[in-house]
Amino acid sequence: MLNNCIGIGLVINVFVLLGGSVTKVRVGIPAAPQYQGGNMAEDFDAIKLKEIKAMIANIPPEDGNRSCQFPTDRVEKVKEIILAAFPETAPPAAVDLIFPCFSEKNRESMKRTELNFMGRTWGSLTPEFLEQNWASYCYFSRHGYRYYLPAKLLRALEPQSGHSFQHAVVSGLKPGFWELYYNSGKDLLFEEHLALFSETQFKAVAAFLELFFDAAPRFKFLSAQVLRWGWDRMWTPALAKALEYYHELHNYDWPQAPKPEALALVERIKTVFKDTPPPKPDEMCNTKQGDEPAEYAMEFRGLDWRRLHPDFLNREHACLSFFPAPAFRYFLPAYLVQDLTDTLTAQADLISQLTWTFNGKKEKPELHTYMLKQFSKFNKAERGVITAYLEYKAACEPFQLEVIKTAIRLYWNA
């Protein structure tokens, strides 16, 4: 059973005025537990729907929604593998189509999914139908999911499918990170969906993901993530590539900082944080609200901050907003070093992360309290090197001088 503890949490976009420019800071506030071991169907339903909404929200805009263009020979080969693994047989009976572990409040959506798909062969589903109903796959039973999955896979290989649809299909193949983190590594619905897959069908999905990994740079991390966390129960060439890629992301030798003063600060950061203890497995997530915080928890759990690749850190740059104090303390130096070696993207705004609360605490007292808790594990030496980093940034970015000075005076060097 799902061992849920669902409460009301917040993810707030805080806009802070910094030297005339507006900076958006994403801050996650932990959810307060409401109950333990409640109604399984309602818990399960709420979690899966949050994941779907998050999937939709995270579909990135890409040049007019252009789909990835794959080598024709590779696409045709993958299509052949999928068609051979999933022959177009009679569709499942209505009674076998829907997974019953959903609450009454979504009975209408479940019924609509049943009516939309019932009696239709997967080969008869039009592109328009698939693009309108891809999210309905979450309601399928093991019979329905296995039967209708090839329709989505094949549509995602078409040049006209669009980036958003491709992203939804690939992302929809991974398990829920909320379940992986809070439910002992098991996503019950994901397990249900894969229960009837044969070895040939499993390998066909892996071949689909391998194509995205090899030929679509925008999907490289996502497809590797899907393989590592979901499609890893059978050894495939795709899984081997994904694990090698993850090994590279987790075992990186940082380049030297380009400026002498930055180089000296990097060495000081490495020295000061050398013995900082890593967070425990249950100290990686500060909220049970949604899938994104749990994803960061799973992706960073057990890693050494000194070996993380810039590509990994840039992709997961929002993690600091969701880490509790032990994880925030341990992984912050990775981002400090990344910034000083000029490999940090503009999306990851460390200055705001470390200063905004001390410049706007009267307007957001609850967020100020939360941020102080996040900073609470730093010792005097660690706070000192963070102060040195902020002073360095103030010299490089004088338009942020007053904001940084205020944060240093009120907290970091207090």
State residue 118's pLDDT score: 94
Question: For the chain, what is the largest distance between any 2 Cα atoms, rounded to a whole number of angstroms?
Answer: 71
State residue 347's pLDDT score: 62
Element (H, E) at 108: helix 107-117
Q: The whole model's pTM is what?
A: 0.82
Provide the β-strand partners of residue 26. 13
State residue 17's pLDDT score: 29
With a cut of 70, which residues of the chain have pLDDT below it? 1-65, 102-103, 346-347, 360-363
- Please, are residues 412 and 386 in contact by the beta-carbon 8 Å criterion? yes
Sign of the Cα torsion 285, 350, 364, 17 reads negative
Q: Which one, of 101, 106, 100, lies nearest residue 41 by Cα?
A: 101
User: How does strand 10-18 pair with strand 21-29?
Assistant: antiparallel
**Token pair belonging to 65:** 């929604």
State residue 4's pLDDT score: 30
Phi, psi at 324, each rounded to 5°: -70, 175
Residue type, 354: L
* Alpha-carbon gap, residue 186 to 175, rounded angstroms: 8
Residue ranges per domain, the chain?
42-233, 260-412
State residue 369's pLDDT score: 85
Sign of the Cα torsion 158, 159, 164, 166 reads positive
User: What's the 3-state SS for 197-216?
Assistant: CCHHHHHHHHHHHHHHHHHC
User: Could you tell me the CA-to-CA distances from 138 to 45, 151, 236 in Å, in that order?
Assistant: 10, 15, 25
* Alpha-carbon gap, residue 23 to 14, rounded angstroms: 8
% helix / strand / coil in the chain, to the nearest 5?
60, 5, 35
State residue 221's pLDDT score: 97
User: In this predicted model, what pLDDT tens digit does every residue of 352-368 receive, in sequence order?
Assistant: 899 988 886 566 778 88
